[in-house]
């Protein structure tokens, strides 16, 4: 042991030797012999000294009694504004506002110390010595002051400097001069080149520089002293550290050195260094300690070695003092060091807290509350482990209580030091997260304590609480607290509350096994740990359930505690019959007894009255529980740990709910549900959503309630039983049909999904309605009756226009799963459409679903696509021609006869089923009502229209063998199409008659007749209504051309000598049919008589066949009636040509046999012959004109603009004017007049005048006139007219108006140089 | 020691796309939900960590009493909660599923083949 003893105190002897001071008794005490009490003395002294000194001390050596004068000034200039000190790593550190205390060397505090004390507690010794002097006399300085000063400063341990105080008044020149002299001398004597040691203070003069100078000098001294002292302590510590693993190691010595060093740093405001010292101290403590929570692997072996070497020298843990349950991890002074010391070390329980308290104090000084939190949290965790290890000897639940109080203390302290926005956002986030963790931890421990004393029924069995509590082992005291003898009434009371507490039945009758809050059955654990109870008794209780391992780490492993609990709980109740109160020592404790016993034990453990109060009643418990939960939630939210935060919100909600604050509860539950729903954690959602629903129901929030029910229904089917799901549905239906004020809109996208049918989209033509079939998936467990259901379609090309809603037929019943719903589709605009929204109504509930299901229910259950479906469900074609109506025949038909007019109806890929055709004939055309309208299929062929009807029908026969033709009756101007004609082209034959009053007129070669093409034109307006609802309308007016069969032209072929005229009548066939002329005759007009014959051509020529387009001619001989009865009224103004004919034509080609003529059973004999009548105008020959005007040819070089020209006309008398009244007056003169367009011509000479012309035949005169053409081009020349002569008597040559060519003016030759 | 593990693949937007209770211990009725609850809460931790490290495998991101949450983050930020080589093999399986043209990324993995393989892997590694 001697060697041990020497080893320990070697270091101290080194110190002693160095400082040449005897440490006295302290040195001589061998470590093993140091009693706890003696060590405590030193520690007590150390702590007292440490506590009494809080700043750096500067000693003032007041040589000339100046201190009372300048003290005020000195202290005014405290603290040091900027002091550059050196830290442990020899780096300069700027310390601001360093306080320094000035103490006179004569002060008792410095004087009374024994030298060994000075060096043991070196940190409190002065860091600088300020020597205050004044002197005005040089001799006095030399003789008295200087030797004295030399004596003072000779101790080289001291850091000193001299302050020379000049009391000389500035006005006193002599005194000032003297002072200066003395000061100069002083500087010479005491300052060296290396170091200025003097400064001068003028009391009466303003000297700002002095204080800066003083601060620099003090700082320099402090820095030097600090360096020296740190160096010294470090050396000592290093030496001691080397011996750390030796058996003689004494931790207390090390602690004092280390903490002294830390304290030196602390009072020098070098907090970082101080903190590092404490950290090292802690590390060293943990490494050398013999407790089983080694910090690093290397230290395990060390710890073991120590065990081997020194059996029994296990460090005491502590934790038995009266207020040890209250964590002191932030109160370094809570317990004097002397109380922690045990042997040569400290009790872990107290010392680790003390160290942490010192660290956190420094961290707060460094303004790093975040670090306190983060270190604190890990400290609490690791300390709790240490407590677990010693749990069996510690008071009941000390661990829980300590953790709880530690967390709360940390929360309080850090929150008050934390200020938002000071640190980086990352750190701040992390800080709040830690606060949240601390709150959670304290909440957990608080719940555990509450549960132990029977408040378990008030703890919500939520996943969070269950996860926390059911995986946290029970406390493991050596012996479970037993029931105090006088507690029977309390037990009864507790039992009553237990019986009263009925677990709240969940809304909707949801049957769920409550989540466990116990890691294993408390009843069993408590009874097992009771000393008095034998194992046999336990097996009695639990049916000898084998293989239960308890107390090991397996507690949290998945056993089946819930089933055990179910068995155990009622059993304990039946056992409890009041009055039959046996001693609890003999039989297993009942649950209520366990609670009461735990409560009593806790009262002993817990020293904090506030904490006790929170556990004293359910109300207080809940209040505190709520506070902790709120704190945790709030901090997690601030740290963006939304999941943690929101889950805790759910816990708050549960409490609110219990207290009837349903609106608050609903709000919070809503948040939780939103979180789980958003991330689709359905299992978790299924736990919370019923709670929300219940709140909403109580709050009468019908919309919310229904929405919750719908969400419940849309959760995975396996999460709820079908009975529960039915309950959800019936709630929805009931509310929907209840008396709600306003209709409630609700999104049921997750529950009712829909999709179009597979296959190609429905195709419709523009304007057509249709039926759209849609598959709707219902997630309801039962059939549900919808009052209405509608669907909107969205046009893909036009998104901004809201879709049109399609209504389904009134009430629809949706079966669970797949339903096919058919919607009536009104005509839509062209485009393609996708499904939009399904809306509907159940009672007052208006629901809508946006969700498009991809296919079968197997896929839709889990995953719904919120993307819009891209596959079109409906395509509406752009407007196009659906049908075509056209005239079948373009060639002319017979006018005034009943003719078939053909209308081709050609459907263009569109059914004409049930189509109605309105036929409206235009003026001059009427339908022969007595005949039916024939309809037959029409084969479009390129072949000529000559194809007969028979041929057509044969060709068509394979298409529609049964019917391809029929007779339809026109009813009120319309006919209805037959079925067979729906999809094939067909032709309608409509019997019509074009009426014309006009008699056909023949034309002659003399008077050519202008044929008016429009005369024979007739129109038929057709209107076809078709489509499913006759919504499609096609209108067309077709034109038909009607004509006479012949165009008649006549000419006199020959004029015989006997006056007989041979009249040739040419017949030009106008129709596309063979015309057979049977007979022809002329009814002559007055003035003409038939020639030899009876007015008919030779009959042998008939019948004469006239092919389409060809001509035939008939010759009649007529003669002019010699004696024309004058004054007698003309009977026939014109001759009539009659032609009896037949027509052989096909109606498909053109004119044909009239309907009535070709008709039915009429015999040939009775057949009405067709007669064509044409008027022919025969004119008796007229006299020759009496005058002729001839335009003489123009000169050959033509006319030119601007060139003068003579126009000439020759007027000649053709015959004598006799008896002509018109020229009676001036028969030898003729009046002429030249007419010309003045824009084109300039005329010179007389435009109008008389020229003499002899009355004799053949007399002639030439009229010439000068004129100049004004414009180039073809222009009418001036014309000569004879106003006095009737036009009929004048023959003109050229006979009609004519044009002459006027050339442009000649170019000037001077400008035109021919190029060669 | 009987162990239990809950393995959940979490898709983007934190939606669970595959769940499996694996492990040798008899199934505790309430465990599934508690495990889900713990894993869900662990996403808070993961979201902080995932962006600060490039490592795919985050061992023991969260502790809940004696349950340890390990996470494996794929490049596409799909999380696997559960052990490293197990994770790696399941990741390969997941990629195979992802390559299936009929699988819509982000939807639930319902392939029974995948399920069988995962459970086989769990027996092998866990």
Give the residue from A40, A57, A196, A174 showing the smallest Cα distance to A127: A57
Percent of chain A surpassing pLDDT 90: 2
Closest alpha carbon within chain A to B67: A471
**Chosen from A445, A463, A647, A650 to mutate, greatest number of chain B CBs within 10 A:** A463
Q: What is the mean predicted confidence (pLDDT) over A955-982?
A: 69
pLDDT at A727 over 50: yes
How does DSSP classify residue A19? H
> Would you state the pLDDT for residue A1196?
74
Place of tokens 């004109």: A1185
pLDDT at A428 over 60: yes
Contacts of residue A1020, Cβ cutoff 8 Å, sequence gap at least 6 = A901, A903, A919, A920, A921, A922, A925, A990, A992, A1037, A1038, A1039, A1040
pLDDT at A1014 over 80: no
| Interchain proximity A560–B29, CB inside 8 Å | yes
Stretch among A89-103, A225-239, A751-765 having the lowest mean pLDDT: A751-765
**Chosen from B4, B65, B68, B115 to mutate, greatest number of chain A CBs within 10 A:** B65
Stretch among A113-127, A145-159, A165-179, A365-379 having the lowest mean pLDDT: A113-127
pLDDT single digits (tens) A800-837: 555 667 776 667 788 888 888 888 777 777 778 877 78
How does DSSP classify residue A314? P
Contacts of residue A140, Cβ cutoff 8 Å, sequence gap at least 6 = none
Which structure tokens are listed for A112? 């009374």
> Would you state the pLDDT for residue B57?
64
Name residue A1268's beta-bridge partners.
Answer: A1242
Å from A471 to nearest chain B CA? 6
Residue A904: CA atoms inside 13 Å, Cβ hemisphere, count?
A: 16
How does DSSP classify residue A32? G
Using only C-alpha atoms, chain A has a radius of gyration, in whole angstroms, of 66
pLDDT at A675 over 90: no
> Would you state the pLDDT for residue A438?
92
Number of other CB atoms surrounding residue A214 within 10 Å: 19
Contacts of residue A606, Cβ cutoff 8 Å, sequence gap at least 6 = A325, A401, A612, A615
Using alpha carbons, list the distances in angstroms from residue A111 to A54, A59, A108, A125.
19, 11, 5, 11
| Interchain proximity A559–B28, CB inside 8 Å | yes
| Interchain proximity B30–A464, CB inside 8 Å | no
Using alpha carbons, list the distances in angstroms from residue A257 to A11, A231, A238, A261.
11, 12, 10, 6
Highest-confidence range of A54-68, A711-725, A1218-1232, by mean pLDDT? Answer: A54-68
Spatial separation of the C-alpha atoms in residues A133 and A591, rounded to whole Å: 84
> Would you state the pLDDT for residue A316?
72
Which residue in the set B16, B37, B108 is minimally distant from A463, CB to CB? B37
**Chosen from B37, B43, B108 to mutate, greatest number of chain A CBs within 10 A:** B37
Q: What is the mean predicted confidence (pLDDT) over B95-104?
A: 80
Using alpha carbons, list the distances in angstroms from residue A118 to A50, A155, A229, A264.
13, 15, 12, 14
Q: What is the mean predicted confidence (pLDDT) over A1251-1271?
A: 84
* DSSP three-state, residue B87: helix
Which residues of chain A make contact with B51, given a CB cutoff of 8 A?
Answer: none
Q: What is the mean predicted confidence (pLDDT) over A889-915?
A: 84
Number of other CB atoms surrounding residue B96 within 10 Å: 14
| Full 3-state SS string of A660-682 | CCHHHHHHHHHHHHHHHHHHCCH
Spatial separation of the C-alpha atoms in residues B21 and B27, rounded to whole Å: 8
pLDDT at A1192 over 70: yes
Spatial separation of the C-alpha atoms in residues A926 and A1020, rounded to whole Å: 9
| Interchain proximity B44–A643, CB inside 8 Å | yes
Contacts of residue A1289, Cβ cutoff 8 Å, sequence gap at least 6 = A1185, A1186, A1187, A1220, A1222
* DSSP three-state, residue A94: strand
pLDDT single digits (tens) A170-195: 788 888 888 888 888 888 888 888 88
pLDDT at A18 over 80: no
> Would you state the pLDDT for residue A543?
40
Highest-confidence range of A244-248, A684-688, A714-718, A810-814, by mean pLDDT? Answer: A684-688
pLDDT single digits (tens) A339-361: 777 767 788 888 888 889 999 98
Number of other CB atoms surrounding residue A107 within 10 Å: 13
pLDDT confidence band for A228 (50 / 70 / 90): confident
pLDDT single digits (tens) A312-330: 445 677 777 777 777 777 7
Å from A457 to nearest chain B CA? 19
Q: For residues A1138 and A1056, which has the higher predicted lDDT (pLDDT)?
A: A1138
| Interchain proximity A471–B66, CB inside 8 Å | yes
Å from B10 to nearest chain A CA? 9
Q: A811-826 burial by CB neighbour count: b if 16+ within 10 A, else e? A: ebebebeebebebebe
Q: What is the mean predicted confidence (pLDDT) over A895-918?
A: 85
pLDDT single digits (tens) A251-295: 888 888 888 888 888 888 888 998 998 898 888 888 776 444 333
Which residues of chain B make contact with A513, given a CB cutoff of 8 A?
Answer: 29-30
Residue A1155's H or E segment, with its range, is none
DSSP string, A1078-1095: EEEEEE--TTEEE-SSSS
| Interchain proximity A679–B31, CB inside 8 Å | no
Chain B residues with CB-CB distance to A under 8 A?
A: 1-2, 4, 13-16, 25-34, 36-38, 40-41, 43-45, 64-67, 104, 107-108, 110
pLDDT at A1023 over 80: yes
pLDDT at A151 over 80: yes
Spatial separation of the C-alpha atoms in residues A40 and A256, rounded to whole Å: 12
Å from B30 to nearest chain A CA? 7
> Would you state the pLDDT for residue A1157?
61
Stretch among A365-379, A637-651, A933-947 having the lowest mean pLDDT: A933-947
Contacts of residue A1086, Cβ cutoff 8 Å, sequence gap at least 6 = A1121, A1124, A1125, A1130, A1131, A1132, A1133
Closest alpha carbon within chain A to B48: A641
A898-907 and A883-887: which strand pairing?
antiparallel
pTM of the model: 0.65
| Interchain proximity B34–A467, CB inside 8 Å | yes
Which structure tokens are listed for A1312? 């035109």
> Would you state the pLDDT for residue A502?
67
Instruction: Say if residues B90 and B118 touch (Cβ distance below 8 Å).
Output: yes
pLDDT confidence band for B32 (50 / 70 / 90): low
pLDDT at B123 over 70: yes
Using only C-alpha atoms, chain B has a radius of gyration, in whole angstroms, of 14
> Would you state the pLDDT for residue A631?
92
pLDDT at A24 over 50: no
pLDDT at B68 over 70: no
> Would you state the pLDDT for residue A573?
38
| Interchain proximity A684–B36, CB inside 8 Å | yes
> Would you state the pLDDT for residue A561?
37
A·B CB contacts under 8 A:
86
Instruction: Say if residues A346 and A399 touch (Cβ distance below 8 Å).
Output: no
> Would you state the pLDDT for residue A627?
92
Q: What is the mean pLDDT of chain A?
A: 76
Residue A112's H or E segment, with its range, is none
pLDDT single digits (tens) A229-252: 888 888 888 888 887 777 777 788
Which structure tokens are listed for B59? 């061992």
Name residue A654's beta-bridge partners.
Answer: none
pLDDT confidence band for A628 (50 / 70 / 90): very high
Q: For residues A146 and B75, which has the higher predicted lDDT (pLDDT)?
A: A146
> Would you state the pLDDT for residue B67?
59
> Would you state the pLDDT for residue A1081?
83
pLDDT single digits (tens) A556-603: 333 333 333 333 333 433 343 344 444 445 577 888 888 888 888 888
Using alpha carbons, list the distances in angstroms from residue A744 to A741, A752, A781, A886.
9, 17, 22, 58
pLDDT confidence band for A407 (50 / 70 / 90): very high
């Amino acid at each position: 042991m001697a060697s041990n003893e020497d080893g320990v105190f070697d270091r101290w002897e080194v110190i002693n030797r160095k400082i040449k001071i005897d440490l006295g008794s302290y040195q001589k005490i061998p470590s093993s012999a140091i009693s706890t009490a003696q060590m405590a003395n030193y520690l007590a002294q150390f702590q007292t000294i440490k506590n009494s000194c809080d700043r750096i001390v500067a000693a003032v050596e007041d040589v000339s009694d100046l201190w009372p004068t300048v003290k005020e000034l000195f202290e005014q200039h405290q603290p040091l504004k900027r002091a550059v000190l050196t830290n442990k790593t020899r780096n300069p550190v700027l310390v601001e506002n360093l306080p320094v205390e000035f103490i006179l060397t004569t002060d008792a505090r410095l004087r009374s110390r024994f030298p060994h004390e000075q060096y043991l507690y070196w940190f409190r010794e002065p860091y600088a010595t300020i020597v205050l002097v004044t002197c005005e006399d040089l001799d006095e300085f030399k003789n008295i002051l200087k030797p004295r000063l030399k004596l003072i400063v000779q101790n080289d341990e001291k850091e000193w400097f001299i302050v020379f105080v000049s009391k000389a008044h500035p006005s006193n020149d002599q005194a000032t001069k003297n002072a200066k002299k003395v000061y100069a001398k002083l500087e010479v004597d005491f300052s060296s080149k290396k170091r200025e040691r003097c400064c001068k203070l003028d009391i009466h003069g303003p000297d700002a520089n002095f204080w800066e100078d003083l601060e620099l000098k003090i700082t320099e001294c402090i820095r030097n002293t600090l360096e020296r002292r740190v160096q010294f302590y470090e050396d000592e510590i290093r030496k001691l550290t080397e011996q750390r693993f030796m058996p003689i190691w004494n931790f207390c010595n090390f602690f004092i050195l280390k903490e002294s060093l830390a304290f030196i740093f602390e009072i020098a405001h070098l907090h970082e260094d101080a903190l590092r010292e404490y950290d090292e101290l802690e590390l060293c403590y943990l490494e050398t300690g013999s407790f089983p929570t080694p910090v690093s692997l290397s230290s395990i072996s060390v710890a073991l070695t120590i065990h081997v070497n020194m059996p029994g020298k296990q460090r005491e843990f502590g934790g038995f003092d009266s207020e040890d349950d209250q964590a002191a991890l932030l109160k370094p002074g809570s317990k004097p060091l002397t109380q922690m010391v045990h042997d040569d070390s400290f009790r872990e329980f107290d010392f680790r807290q003390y160290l942490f308290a010192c660290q956190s104090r420094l961290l707060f000084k460094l303004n790093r509350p975040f670090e306190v939190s983060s270190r604190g949290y890990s400290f609490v965790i690791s300390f709790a482990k240490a407590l677990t290890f010693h749990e069996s000897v510690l008071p009941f639940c000390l661990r829980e209580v300590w953790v709880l109080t530690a967390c709360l203390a940390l929360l309080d302290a850090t929150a008050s030091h934390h200020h938002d926005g000071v640190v980086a956002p990352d750190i701040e986030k992390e800080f709040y997260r830690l606060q949240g963790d601390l709150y959670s931890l304290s909440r957990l421990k608080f719940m555990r304590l509450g549960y132990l004393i029977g408040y378990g029924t008030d703890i919500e069995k939520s996943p969070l609480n269950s996860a926390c509590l059911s995986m946290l082992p029970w406390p493991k005291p050596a012996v479970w607290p037993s029931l105090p003898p006088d507690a029977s009434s309390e037990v009864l009371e507790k039992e009553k509350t237990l019986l009263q507490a009925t677990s709240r039945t969940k809304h909707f009758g949801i049957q769920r096994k409550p989540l466990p809050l116990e890691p294993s059955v408390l009843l069993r654990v408590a009874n097992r740990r009771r000393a008095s109870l034998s194992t046999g008794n336990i097996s009695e209780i639990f049916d000898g359930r084998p293989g239960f391992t308890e107390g090991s780490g397996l507690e949290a492993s998945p056993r089946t505690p819930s089933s055990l609990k179910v068995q155990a709980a009622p059993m304990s109740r039946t056992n409890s019959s009041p009055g039959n109160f046996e001693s609890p020592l003999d039989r297993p404790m009942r649950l209520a007894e366990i609670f009461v016993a735990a409560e009593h034990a806790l009262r002993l453990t817990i020293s904090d009255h506030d904490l006790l109060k929170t556990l004293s009643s359910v109300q207080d418990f809940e209040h505190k529980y709520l506070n902790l939960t709120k704190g945790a939630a709030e901090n997690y939210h601030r740290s963006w740990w939304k999941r943690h935060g929101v889950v805790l919100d759910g816990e708050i909600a549960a409490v609110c709910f219990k207290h009837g604050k349903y609106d608050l509860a609903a709000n919070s539950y809503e948040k939780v549900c939103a979180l789980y729903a958003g991330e689709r954690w359905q299992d978790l959602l299924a736990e919370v959503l019923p709670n929300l629903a219940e709140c909403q129901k109580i709050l009468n929030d019908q919309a919310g309630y229904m929405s919750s029910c719908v969400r419940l229904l849309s959760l995975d089917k396996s999460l709820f039983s079908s009975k529960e799901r039915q309950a959800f549905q019936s709630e929805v239906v009931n509310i929907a049909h209840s008396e709600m004020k306003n209709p409630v809109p609700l999104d049921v996208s997750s529950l009712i999904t829909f999709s179009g049918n597979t296959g190609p989209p429905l195709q419709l033509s523009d304007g057509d309605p249709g039926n759209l079939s849609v598959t709707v998936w219902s997630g309801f467990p039962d059939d549900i009756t919808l009052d209405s259901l509608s669907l909107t379609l969205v046009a893909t090309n036009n998104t901004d226009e809201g879709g049109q809603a399609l209504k389904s037929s009134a009430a629809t019943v949706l079966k669970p799963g797949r339903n096919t719903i058919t919607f009536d589709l009104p005509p839509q605009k062209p485009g393609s459409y996708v499904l939009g929204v399904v809306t509907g109504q159940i009672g007052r509930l208006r629901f809508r679903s946006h969700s498009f299901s991809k296919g079968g229910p197997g896929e839709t259950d889990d995953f719904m696509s919120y993307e819009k479906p891209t596959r079109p469900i409906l395509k509406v074609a752009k407007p196009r021609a659906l049908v075509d109506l056209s005239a079948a025949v373009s060639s002319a038909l017979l006018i005034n006869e009943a003719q078939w007019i053909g209308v081709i109806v050609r459907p263009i890929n569109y059914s004409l089923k049930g189509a109605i055709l309105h036929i409206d004939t235009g003026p001059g055309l009427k339908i022969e009502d007595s005949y039916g309208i024939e309809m037959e299929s029409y084969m479009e062929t390129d072949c000529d229209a000559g194809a007969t009807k028979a041929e057509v029908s044969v060709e068509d026969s394979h298409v529609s063998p049964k019917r391809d033709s029929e007779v339809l009756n026109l009813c009120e101007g319309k006919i209805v199409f037959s079925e067979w004609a729906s999809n094939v082209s067909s032709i309608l034959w409509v019997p019509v008659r074009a009426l014309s009053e006009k008699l056909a007129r023949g034309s002659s070669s003399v008077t050519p007749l202008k044929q008016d093409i429009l005369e024979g034109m007739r129109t038929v307006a057709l209107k076809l209504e078709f489509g499913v609802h006759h919504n499609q309308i096609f209108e067309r007016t077709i034109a038909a051309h009607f004509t006479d069969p012949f165009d008649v032209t006549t000419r006199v072929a020959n004029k015989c000598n006997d006056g007989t005229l041979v009249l040739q009548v040419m017949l030009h066939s106008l129709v596309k049919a063979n015309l057979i002329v049977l007979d022809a005759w002329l009814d002559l007009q007055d003035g003409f008589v038939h020639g030899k014959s009876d007015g008919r051509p030779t009959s042998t020529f008939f019948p004469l066949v006239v092919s389409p387009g060809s001509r035939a001619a008939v010759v009649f001989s007529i003669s002019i009636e010699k004696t024309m009865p004058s004054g007698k009224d003309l009977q026939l103004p014109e001759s009539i040509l009659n032609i009896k004919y037949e027509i052989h034509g096909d109606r498909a080609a053109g004119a044909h046999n009239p309907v009535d003529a070709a008709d039915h059973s009429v015999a040939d004999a009775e057949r009405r012959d067709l007669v064509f009548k044409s008027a022919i105008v025969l004119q008796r020959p007229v006299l020759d004109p009496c005058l002729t005007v001839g335009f003489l040819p123009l000169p050959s070089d033509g006319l030119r603009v601007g060139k003068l020209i003579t126009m000439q006309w020759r007027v000649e008398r053709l015959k004598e004017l006799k008896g002509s009244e018109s020229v009676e007056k001036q028969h030898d003169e003729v009046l002429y007049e030249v007419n010309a367009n003045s824009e084109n011509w300039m005329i010179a000479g007389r435009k109008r005048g008389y020229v003499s012309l002899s009355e004799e035949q053949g007399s002639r005169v030439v009229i010439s006139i000068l004129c100049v053409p004004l414009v180039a081009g073809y222009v009418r020349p001036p014309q000569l007219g004879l106003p006095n002569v009737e036009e009929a008597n004048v023959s003109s040559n050229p006979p009609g108006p004519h044009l002459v060519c006027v050339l442009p003016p000649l170019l000037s030759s001077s400008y035109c140089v021919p190029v060669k | 020691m009987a162990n239990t593990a809950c393995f959940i693949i979490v898709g983007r937007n934190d939606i669970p796309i595959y769940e499996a209770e694996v492990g040798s211990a008899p199934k505790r009725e309430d465990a599934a939900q508690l495990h889900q609850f713990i894993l869900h809460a662990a996403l808070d931790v993961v979201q902080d960590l995932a962006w600060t490290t490039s490592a795919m495998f985050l061992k023991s991101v969260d502790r809940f009493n004696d349950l340890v949450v390990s996470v494996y983050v794929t490049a596409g930020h799909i999380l696997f909660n559960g052990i490293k080589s197990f994770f790696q093999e399941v990741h390969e399986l997941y990629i195979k599923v992802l390559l299936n043209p009929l699988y819509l990324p982000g939807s639930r993995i319902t392939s029974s083949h995948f399920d069988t393989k995962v459970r086989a892997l769990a027996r092998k590694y866990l």
